[in-house]
Chains A and B, each alone.
Chain A
Amino acid sequence: MDLTTTYLGLKLRTPLVMAASPLSENLDNLKRMEDAGASAVVMHSLFEEQLRQDRLELHRHLENGTESYAEALSYFPDAGEYRLGPEEYLRHIWRAKEMTKVPIIASLNCSSVGGWVEYARQIQLAGADALELNIYHIPTDPDVPGEMLEENYLNILRAVRAEVKIPIAVKLSPFFSNFANMAKRFDAAGANGLVLFNRFYQPDIDLEDLEVRPNLLLSTPMAMRLPLRWIAILHGRLHASLAATSGIHRAGDALKMLLAGADVTMLCSTVLRHGFPQIALIESDLARWLEDHDYESVSQIKGSLSQKNCPDPTAFERAQYMKALCTYSI
């Protein structure tokens, strides 16, 4: 069975890619992902905001209380050099490339254009095969119109595009007025792929402490419905590759995404739950299904049930919701 696929111009052995997760922080895990059959690995994210915050904090703590009291003019030794940029991350990418053969996709988490776009170039130099830009922004200012936000997203992509030659994927949230339009504009701005969708930390309330505590729960298979819809709608309309992420737990989930038009499917929660062998299990189930259903290759099924290719294109449109509601009986 030919499971190969192409994502961001990278030829991959299977459509099963390891999504960005804390697992990739450990180099041994990368090897285990590869051994279990992950065809590419998206590294954990480098958070530009975190780095910025760390720099400000370090500065504050190193200055706090200094030159105030004769016996203690400072409280910390001068460490000489600090690694306050992405050095650690770059080293990690470099080492990942050293010890694995699968493509390594770096991930950069950001919310606005800044000096950090330079990191993209350094990531390329460190040997990353591609870069996934994880752009997030929760707008809370009622005076900021949607267009401004959309432009900000595109500006980030353009700025990074100008820095690097390696392929860029953009990992997005679905929260745009017209996601298809945004996808088209990202495509036009030079994105080599779109990753649908990002899942955010959502606030929760601790009833005992009466505190708001954002957290992230592992996904459930239900989470795949939203990306499934948009992948099906976008398939065949963009130059960019499409990656499905969220809720892909079994081979069946991956197959559905491929049928809708995904070039790759990204695994995370299921591996966190069941361990690395889950990748191999999904792969063998996937291959078996294809065989059982007389398919020859992954490329054959890719998008075969997309909005363009499916017998009932309206099934992916909003009306479908109405219909479903109407037919639902108590």
Chain B
Amino acid sequence: MKTPRVFKTIDGCEAAASVAFKLNESMAIYPITPSSPIAEWCDQWASEGKKNLWDTTPAIVEMQSEGGAVGAVHGMLQTGSLATTFTASQGLLLMIPNMFKFAGELLPTVFHVTARTVATHALSIFGDHSDIMAVRSAGWAMLGAASVQETMDFALIAHAATLRTRIPFVHFFDGFRTSHEVSKIEMLDDAVLRALIDDKLIAEFRSRAMTPDRPVLRGTAQNPDAFFQGREAANPFYSACPDIVQKVMDEFAEQTGRKYNLFEYVGAPDAEHVIVLMGSGCDAAHEAVEHLNHHGENIGLLKVRLYRPFDGRRFVEALPPFVRKIAVLDRTKEPGATGEPLYQDCLTALMEELSAGRSLLKFMPRVVSGRYGLSSKEFTPAMVKAVFDNLKSDAPKNHFTIGINDDVSGSSLPFDPDFSTEPENVVRALFYGLGADGTVGANKNSIKIIGEETENFAQGYFVYDSKKSGSITTSHLRFGPKPIRSSYLVTKANFVACHQPGFLERYEMLRSLVPGGTFLLNTPYAAEQVWSKLPTPVQESLLAKKARLFVINATRVAKESGMGGRINTIMQVCFFALSGVLPKDEAIDAIKNSIKKTYGKKGEEIVKMNLQAVDNTLAHLHEVKLTDNKLNGAGPLLPPISPDAPAFVKNVLGKLAAGFGDELPVSAFPNDGTFPTATAQYEKRNLALEIPVWDEKTCIQCLKCVAICPHATIRAKVYDAAELKDAPATFKVTDARVPEFNGMKFSLQVAAEDCTGCSLCVEVCPAKNKSEAKLKAINMRPQPPLRDAERANWNYFLTLPEFDRRKIKTATLRQQQLQQPLFEFSGACAGCGETPYIKMLTQLFGDRAVIANATGCSSIYGGNLPTTPYTTDGGGRGPTWCNSLFEDNAEFGLGFRVSIDKQKELAEELLKKMSPKLGDEFVTQLLLADQGDEAGIYEQRQRVIALKEKLQDLISVEAKMLLSVADQLVKKSVWILGGDGWAYDIGYGGLDHVLASGKKVNVLVMDTEVYSNTGGQMSKSTPRGAIAKFAAGGKPAGKKDLGLIAMSYGNIYVASVAMGAKDEHTLKALVEAESYPGPSLIIAYSHCIAHGIALDTGIGARQQKLAVESGQWLLYRYDPRRAARGENPLQLDSGAAKHKVKDFMLTENRFKMLTKSKPDDAKLFFEQSQTDADRRWKFYQFLAARETKPQVTAVIETAVHH
């Protein structure tokens, strides 16, 4: 041990970043979960001017895709920079072509990979080895870390080894389980890095770099005469690699005392049963093996560290000599293979070593293979035990699965979920919080305090749901005197805290509490009142477990301390007070110090209110004595899904919603990832504290509120008075005001249980109460007292008939908004700026829409289980939706179009052939149907129904074929949806190609000007001067003008819209785009939480208006049909700026923040942004004012007749 030991409590991403930053000079990155934080750390340190090992700040460049990032790294390495990137999943797969090149060119580098599931039947952001296994043939060394400590250590070992071996390394660790686990680890001192990294090797690396001073030729093309030999020429490097890695590990051990081997055996020296695995599962297995051996078993575990090059000799040598049976566990699945990859490697190694007589093994062990932990499925000691139990049997199951119940193929092993190896000296705590209440942040802070202020080791792992509004978080904390190996969720908690009173009636959180454990509840009720307010099952659990119950009204304490809704500090104080990990006073001092450290730079007020909250807490924390209490609770838990839901929704999706998805068997799931739509309606989330209440007397029936509502929870209907039967007493009705609807009734209704309370509707309401101007036609009022009545009103409202689409004029918003939205109740953020566009799209075209959706926010709120907001109309029609990838969405959508058109063409050909049988006139009607409006589409649908009936009676191959494609005779609307990360960056090449194809596809870009879903990274859409990740100093370059680029083709309908600024303009653009017979592109300004605005206060629409009125965002429509008529195709629809751009910019934190960090730069950016806006306005004004002559472009012709 040469350096003093320094411990820090950090997560895996930071651990990897801290080494990567030190040992690299150049980085090219692209955000992808869960690796994004590694790059973000590096970017932050670089922006702070921190230095690497050679006292220089690494250069970081954000690229347009992982394909771009790896290309840039290739260039960096070829020209002699120590370079790296960080990625996962699809991102790693996009790098594969280059990775083959790197290996072929013996370029030393380490890619740090947070191993993540590759999307198959579904996307998953969580961890398994399917991505890293997909690159195992690329010729890279692969080193797998199993814990946060190993992540830091192996990052260094990999860097040292790549320089010595010249083989590029993938350093991988499990996504989320390791990348996001916060753990107390020993930090690596620079001296250790220096000891392992040989500058001489760096000089040699640089001497091989491309330079015109010593010109070389690389990347040649070779023929059969040369390629093969050249490919084999590098063999010695691979042969030498394992020894070199082991040597580095040995040197590392000398420096740090932490000893690693390529294959690490743990357990009984004479074990007969051994399991083999790699990654974070090793720690759970380690804990289980130690526990079981302690209880009389004789078993072992072999951890695989260096997976490639696979050193078969060392692998076999590492096994105990008397091993009889081995289970090799793979965290991946290769359908159709003889077994998963690690299993195959182990088997091959055993066979080779034994048959060559090199092994000390007495005989060939029996080897079985198992799959576990796909997409971060839990892997626990109970499962490890089950694997050993399987080995014990005479005929162990092979190709088994563990951790699920496979009732389809029978692959799974049973396990006892109650089996636990949690050491008694480890304190386990579980916290249920709301995303917005700061629970996770507080727990991360607690872990740091415990890890850094006490001798304890500490671990924190955090689980988030996939909703962006009202999301529930669970924090799993452990601390104890020894390093913690429990790489699985806490299920036996000594301490459970419920930070949100509402959760108690929905989630069975006491299931995890151990007998005698402590339950802390944030509740509005006093200690003496709270008992009878608890749901009965909660009372039962508390009594049965003889638990201690503590209560605090943290919401009130937070409010009184000036903390608003953030109860984090208060609950943190309670945790320390009750857990006893530190003496109370010391704990409070530690919290206070941490508050000063964390918030000091944000100003005295912030520190003061947090300190105030600490001081106010303990007086409000009370124990509720349970000894005399009886069961008198507030009834059962609320069902997660409406009892009226269809069986699949209730029994399968409902389990997922309740947090018990792990209990569902394989048979519950579709075999190809297909799910029903129209399911979000059953998930009554009751998120809103306040909901809009309609004042029918003030209302002018403009329906702006209906249009802007991101969650489709406020709707209007116009109907005959005769329909109004048995209405609930509080159901509101008034006379319809639109002249066409004269004599009819009008109702505006809120779905109280689905509303998120964002108040965007109130913000856009133009009507004011005549005698009290602060009141509008809708006003926010507390939800709970209204809930029951409004539930009844909503259900009644749904029974009223939808207005006949054929009679709605879509030219005006007040009529168009009567169309039923086929996108409702999504999990998007409260006040989301994207979803109103999608909703309007579904109102207009949803019953015939086919949607291709790029990965991003819209694919998460659109298609993340358990439910989907896409829904159906009364006829069962609605949008059909699919997400392919992030990068290929435009191409995916184009595929829809080509396919649909081809099938339509086939149908038309068949119609013509079958005309004599079907009737010439009927066929002519079908072929020449005008589907230009709703009436035309309706008529065609009727004809197709009639056609299908006729075809049923005809027995011919052609009839059957026509039957299968007849539906394509009704016009289909192809929509390609995504955000700016997709359209401006990763998908731009494809988008450009698809737009240029002339095909009738509609593209809707919901432009938030930043990668929203992955946490605010800069895109090429980010405006100049905006702060984003990778643009901490404000983005220096201006926003790419995607619309202008598209307009340059001349045959693309292009519109730039902002619904919050001019809703009817958006409507007009959508209608025009869809009716245009060629490609269309709508770029829709979407306000976003990543802009640094108070999204949940309805401010979004105001921001859109300001953006337009300041000239920061232009409204326009470019319609090539106008050019054909001799008109200027471009119509500039926004007026000259009313405000300075700065006036807009200062209202959003993404711009304003820079005035607080780099005021001079901010000033310059404000000026440049004004110049940008002025120039843009003048240029567009010039374009829109040009005189044009009639022209018919050949491309439009193509488009029309394609």
Within 8 Å of chain A (Cβ to Cβ): is B829?
yes
Q: Is the CB of B1015 within 8 A of A75?
A: yes
* Docked complex Cα distance between A69 and B463 (Å): 9
Chain B residues contacting A82 (CB-CB under 8 Å) are 601-602, 1156-1157
* Docked complex Cα distance between A60 and B1016 (Å): 16
Within 8 Å of chain B (Cβ to Cβ): is A62?
yes
* Docked complex Cα distance between A73 and B444 (Å): 12
Within 8 Å of chain A (Cβ to Cβ): is B605?
yes
Within 8 Å of chain A (Cβ to Cβ): is B1013?
yes
Contact with B along A68-82 (1 / 0, CB 8 A): 111111111111111
Tell which of A54, A72, A77, A83 touches B1012, judged by Cβ atoms closer than 8 Å. Answer: A72
Contact with A along B597-634 (1 / 0, CB 8 A): 00101111110000000000000000000000000000
Q: Is the CB of A83 within 8 A of B1016?
A: no
When C-beta atoms are compared, the residue in chain A nearest to B49 turns out to be A80
A74 and B1016 contact, Cβ closer than 8 Å, known pairs A65-B829, A69-B471? yes
Q: Is the interface of A mostly helix, strand, loop or mixed?
A: loop
Chain A residues contacting B1027 (CB-CB under 8 Å) are 76-77, 79
Contact with B along A250-269 (1 / 0, CB 8 A): 00000000000000000000
Within 8 Å of chain B (Cβ to Cβ): is A281?
no
Tell which of A55, A58, A67, A84 touches B438, judged by Cβ atoms closer than 8 Å. Answer: A67
Number of interface residues of B (CB under 8 A): 63
Chain B residues contacting A62 (CB-CB under 8 Å) are 602, 1092, 1149, 1153
Name, among B603, B1095, B1150, the residue most crowded by chain A CB atoms within 10 Å (CB to CB): B603
Q: Is the CB of A55 within 8 A of B603?
A: yes
A58 and B1156 contact, Cβ closer than 8 Å, known pairs A67-B473, A70-B176, A71-B33? yes
Q: Is the CB of B1157 within 8 A of A76?
A: no
Within 8 Å of chain A (Cβ to Cβ): is B450?
no
When C-beta atoms are compared, the residue in chain A nearest to B564 turns out to be A60
* Docked complex Cα distance between A75 and B1150 (Å): 10
Which residues of B401-455 are within 8 A (CB) of A?
435-436, 438-441, 444
Q: Is the CB of B33 within 8 A of A57?
A: no
Q: Is the CB of A58 within 8 A of B1149?
A: yes
Chain B residues contacting A1 (CB-CB under 8 Å) are none
Q: Is the CB of A88 within 8 A of B1015?
A: no
Contact with B along A106-140 (1 / 0, CB 8 A): 00000000010000000000000000000000000
Chain A residues contacting B47 (CB-CB under 8 Å) are 77, 80
* Docked complex Cα distance between A322 and B72 (Å): 86
Tell which of B44, B438, B606, B1152 touches A56, judged by Cβ atoms closer than 8 Å. Answer: B606
Within 8 Å of chain B (Cβ to Cβ): is A239?
no
Chain A residues contacting B1093 (CB-CB under 8 Å) are 61
Chain A residues contacting B176 (CB-CB under 8 Å) are 70
Tell which of A72, A76, A83 touches B1013, judged by Cβ atoms closer than 8 Å. Answer: A72
Within 8 Å of chain B (Cβ to Cβ): is A213?
no
Chain B residues contacting A67 (CB-CB under 8 Å) are 435, 438-441, 444, 462, 473
Within 8 Å of chain A (Cβ to Cβ): is B1159?
yes
Q: Is the CB of A58 within 8 A of B464?
A: no
* Docked complex Cα distance between A115 and B860 (Å): 46
Chain B residues contacting A74 (CB-CB under 8 Å) are 1015-1016
Chain A residues contacting B1095 (CB-CB under 8 Å) are 64-65
Within 8 Å of chain B (Cβ to Cβ): is A32?
no
Q: Is the CB of B435 within 8 A of A58?
A: no
* Docked complex Cα distance between A55 and B1153 (Å): 10
Shortest beta-carbon distance, B749 to chain A, in Å?
27
Q: Is the CB of B473 within 8 A of A72?
A: no
Shortest beta-carbon distance, A296 to chain B, in Å?
47
When C-beta atoms are compared, the residue in chain A nearest to B769 turns out to be A210
Q: Is the CB of A65 within 8 A of B1153?
A: no
When C-beta atoms are compared, the residue in chain B nearest to A64 turns out to be B1089
Q: Is the CB of A59 within 8 A of B606?
A: yes
Within 8 Å of chain B (Cβ to Cβ): is A66?
yes
Within 8 Å of chain A (Cβ to Cβ): is B650?
no
Chain A residues contacting B733 (CB-CB under 8 Å) are none
Within 8 Å of chain A (Cβ to Cβ): is B657?
no
Q: Is the CB of B1014 within 8 A of A72?
A: yes
Name, among A57, A64, A68, A83, the residue most crowded by chain B CB atoms within 10 Å (CB to CB): A68
A77 and B1029 contact, Cβ closer than 8 Å, known pairs A56-B605, A59-B606? yes
A71 and B125 contact, Cβ closer than 8 Å, known pairs A57-B1149, A77-B1032, A84-B602? yes
B residues with a Cβ closer than 8 A to A are 33-34, 36-37, 40, 43-44, 47-48, 125, 176, 180, 435-436, 438-441, 444, 462, 464, 466-468, 471, 473, 564, 566, 599, 601-606, 768, 773, 829, 860, 1012-1016, 1027-1032, 1089-1090, 1092-1095, 1149-1150, 1152-1153, 1156-1157, 1159
A residues with a Cβ closer than 8 A to B are 52, 54-85, 87-88, 115, 210-211
5 A–B contacts, CB within 8 A, in A order: A61-B1093, A64-B1089, A76-B1029, A77-B40, A84-B602
Apart from A52-B605, A82-B601, 18 more pairs, CB < 8 Å? A58-B602, A62-B1153, A63-B441, A64-B1089, A65-B436, A67-B438, A68-B435, A68-B473, A70-B125, A70-B466, A71-B860, A71-B1013, A72-B1090, A76-B1090, A77-B43, A79-B1027, A82-B1156, A115-B604
What 6 pairs across the A-B complex have the smallest Cβ distances? A68-B435, A72-B1015, A55-B603, A61-B1149, A67-B440, A79-B1157
